[in-house]
A = this chain, B = another copy of it.
């Protein structure tokens, strides 16, 4: 099975980092998603010893190498377009989130995927993070009762980011880029039963990053009468021990599940304990297994579309300062 890399602006390490565990997979080429992307620098620093050929033009690479799978992480506004090209050629796509930065892009991606030529998986790996899966499992097993109150946080260090981030047109926004992981948690834990979103985002304090929002907050009404909130920010301070900090709390009548610092904890009326974690699984490895063996994914393409749509609706709610209906 042959894989190619298109673009190096996203988390392609989700694929490259597990190469050793995929002897059935051979990387056959790398190319930028657009001429202005610094893919060659990444190639020289990290990939040249692998003897993978570098292409200036990903279409030439696809024509020549005929990969079965593409790892697609260009400038964010090009994600959906390049994914569509790959899918139309019958090439499976491991696609950086948010997969699309507009509803039109997302619809086109859905239509192209619906032709059924190739599989699609988003770089939304949290369902394979052992602590998040343990928390989800506890909720699905009914240990907290109906999940009625969900609060989640995504916080990153800002650092100095590529100019691509500083324009809405190329970046897409911080809610679709950062909050989307926590939006995936909300979607996942509620089986997608979200009715409406209100949201806010702001560029204040973004330290010269133009249109890039430095913080955001999303408020969701759930079909079960409960509610969820998702905060995202680039305010994680330099002195913090890790680059990012994820937090999730899911509360119900029977108990509370919390995820933080790589652990999941359950507290009920009877007990408080850490939840046992499965062995770590890599979403890219699962996707390759899915392609080769038909193994089911924890996040399907359909769910990825729904999560991406929810992220875009959340951004719309923030842009318009109006509640946006999520379901019919």
Contacts and interface: CB of A to CB of B under 8 A. Distances in A.
Nearest to A267: B237
Interface in A153-202: 153, 155, 196, 198, 200-202
Given A214-B253, A237-B267, 16 more contacts: A148-B204, A149-B217, A149-B235, A151-B153, A151-B229, A151-B231, A198-B198, A198-B323, A204-B224, A204-B225, A206-B253, A215-B226, A217-B219, A217-B228, A235-B252, A236-B256
A269 B225 CA distance: 40
A207 B151 contact: no
Interface in A200-236: 200-207, 214-217, 219, 221, 224-229, 231, 233, 235-236
A239 B204 contact: no
A197 to B, nearest CB: 10
Contacts of A251: 155, 215, 233, 235
A243 interface: no
A292 interface: no
Interface string A43-81: 000000000000000000000000000000000000000
A157 B252 CA distance: 12
Contacts of A231: 149, 151, 229
The 3 A-B pairs with the shortest beta carbon distances in the complex, nearest first, are A205-B253, A238-B269, A219-B219
Interface in A257-276: 267-272
Contacts of A153: 151, 249
Contacts of A148: 202, 204-205, 214-215, 233, 235
Interface size class of A (residues with CB under 8 A): 35 or more
Contacts of A137: none
15 contacts: A146-B205, A148-B202, A151-B231, A155-B256, A200-B219, A200-B226, A202-B225, A202-B227, A204-B226, A215-B227, A215-B251, A235-B255, A237-B254, A237-B267, A240-B267
Nearest to A321: B221
A15 to B, nearest CB: 32
B255 A237 contact: yes
A253 B204 contact: yes
Contact of A270 (B200, B225, B238, B323): B238
Contact of A323 (B202, B227, B256, B323): B323
